[in-house]
Homo-oligomer: A and B are copies of this chain.
């Protein structure tokens, strides 16, 4: 669950972590509008990953989960014709 009144702005703006409940279900890349990664820092011990779904909803992902790291890597490395094989 993301503290919804807080825009995910990370270090310097937020005075604390944004994410409390982490989504465990695997989110297919084509359901994603964006993935925002907030580095850890004085405001929050952990890096935080906030995914915005195609419908606009924002959810927190576990930055340690292998599938989240594969998801981020896939998005960065995907060539235009490629499809998602995350499992």
Contact = CB atoms under 8 A, between A and B. Distances in A.
A42 B40 CA distance: 32
Question: What is the copy number of this chain in the assembly?
Answer: 2
Given A63-B76, A76-B68, A76-B72, A39 B32 contact: yes
A36 B39 contact: no
Interface of A: 8-13, 29-30, 32-41, 45-47, 49, 52, 54, 56, 63, 68-69, 72-73, 75-78, 80
A76 B37 contact: yes
A42 to B, nearest CB: 10
B33 A10 contact: yes
A34 B36 CA distance: 7
Contact of A52 (B9, B56, B68): B9
